[in-house]
Structure formats: C-alpha cells, structure tokens
Amino acid sequence: TAIENFLVKKCGEAGKKIHTARSRNDQVLTALRLYEKDALAEMMESTSQLIKKIEAACAKYGKIPMPGFTHTRPAMPTTVATWLGAYAESLKDDQVLLKAVAGMLDQSPLGSAAGYGVPVFEINKKMTAKELGFARVMENPIHAQLSRGKYESSIVHALSQVMLDLNRLSSDLILFSMPQFGYVQLPEGVCTGSSIMPQKKNPDVLELIRAKYHVVVAEEMKLKGIMGNLMTGYHRDVQLTKEPVFTSFDLTAASVEMMGLVVGGMRIDAKACQQAMSPELYATEEAYRLVKKGVPFREAYRQVKSKLGK
C-alpha cells in the first residue's frame, strides 16, 4: 500500500496499476529482496574496511612477539601479526559466505503473486527482473513463498559468523588490555569511566559487541522457529520474519563499524608483550631441538618437563 500510494502521488492514475498481475505477497517479497541485496553489499564493503584496518595493524605491529594461549594459559610464542591476522583471514571466510547468500537470493520473485502464479495475464517476469537488477527469475511460484524466512535465516546465519569473529576478538582485546597484561592499549574514545571509581577505563564497546553476537544468534533461531512446521503456501507467520533480519543487519553493521574504530585506534605495547615472553613458552621448541638430535619425542618431552620442574 505504501508503494502504491507513493506511485500514485508520483505517477498519477498509472500508479494504481501496480497491483495488476501482482499480489501483496510477491510485492513485499521483492521489496525485501532488494533491501537484502543492498544490505549484503554494504556488509561486504564494511567487512572489507575492517579487514584493511586489521591488516594495517599487522603491518605496524606484526613483528612484535607475544604469548600464544591454549586453555587460557600461556602456551607457545607467536606474533601480533599471527594473532590479529587470524581474524582478518576469518573475516575473509565470512565474506565467502555473505557472497554465497547474496548469490542465492539474487532472483526476482515478482510475478509469483500469492504463490501460484498469475491467471489470465501473460507477464514477462524476466523483463521486470532485469529492470530491478536481479540476476534471474524465481521460476517456481511456490518456491518463491517457501524461500521467505528460509533465505532470511541464511542471511542472519552469515551475519552471525561475522559477529562470532567480532565476539572472539572482543574477548581477546578485553583480556589483553587488562592492566595485568597490558599488551594492548585501547583508544580512550571507545572506553568509558565508572560512576564512582575515578581510575576506571572500561571496555564497554567491546563488551557490547561480544554480547550482541548472542542477540544475532537468537534472531537466527527465532527465524528458524517461526518457519518450522508450516505447510506449503503463504502464512501470516512470515510477517514476523522481517524484524529479525532488520535487527541483525543493524547490530552487525554497528558492531563492524565500532570494531574498526577500536582496531584503528589501539596501540600494541611492545615492552609488555616482550616481558610476557617467559622461558616456559619455548619448552616445545626445546623439545623439538632434542628430537632433531635423535631423541624420541616422548623422552625429549620428559627431559624438558623435568628441567622446568613441572
């Protein structure tokens, strides 16, 4: 109705013909797909910008050695480039998924009407698909209706993968910026103070990004729950699938932008990282040196462990 009113205002009487050979169903679905295509393209661009900022930080601080962790305990030596670079690589994987989802939904549902096509009229669905910028047409009208909610859950799943990377990077940055670690100095502009403790610089932005991952996952589960158990054809239930998509795009876009500000403004403290490089981190390296000399690995392992008094 909003589209029809807009067209009548813009085009006069001709605008009233927008409903000809169309249903409210396929018009809404087409509008959603156009929004989703644009939003996915914007997400590809924003994640690319974040990747560039991470890679810039790797180029600036990458050679600095730092402890690598397993089981939340110091394990082996690594570098800033290896640590941060892992997130750049993971975001590139996310982009593969975003691109695949964008390719899947790049098909026009216009002309499927309420899910069973249009009687009487001979319509040119390929022409309208081309005019709207879709790569192809959804040929089966029932499939057009079945795709609603299913495609949206795929979109939100792809967004949740981006948010998972931001969630884990947030946890790293929160931990590594603690005074007890001091590897990372967060930009003051993304930290907040305490209402009663003057000394506090809280990483609230990172905590919110970390939490919003779970919100996006919940939106994905909401979508899958709404679409389950529905028989073939349109159901009003699918009206409730719009909001989770809008929410997930908004949260993910804001989180990517804020993480870019954090990464772009943070500083790696080389001295703190170097001080954390305790001799124990090189235990595996020492064991392998013995192996290289012909000592069986288990024996080399025991020798190093005994030497460390462990």
In the structure encoding, which two tokens stand for residue 237, read together?
């239930």
71 is catalytic: yes
Cβ within 8 Å of residue 201, ≥6 positions away: 186, 188, 191, 192, 193
CA 59 to chain centre: 23
Residues in a beta bridge with 202: 192
* Pairing mode, strands 107-108 and 136-137: parallel
In the structure encoding, which two tokens stand for residue 139, read together?
């040929």
Q: Indicate which residue of 48, 194, 214, 278 is catalytic.
A: 194
d(CA 299, CA 72): 26
Q: Indicate which residue of 19, 23, 48, 71 is catalytic.
A: 71
| Short-list 63, 234, 277, 73, CA closest to 147 | 234
157 is catalytic: no
Residue 218 — φ and ψ, nearest 5°? -65, -35
d(CA 192, CA 199): 11
Kindly list the catalytic residues: 71, 194
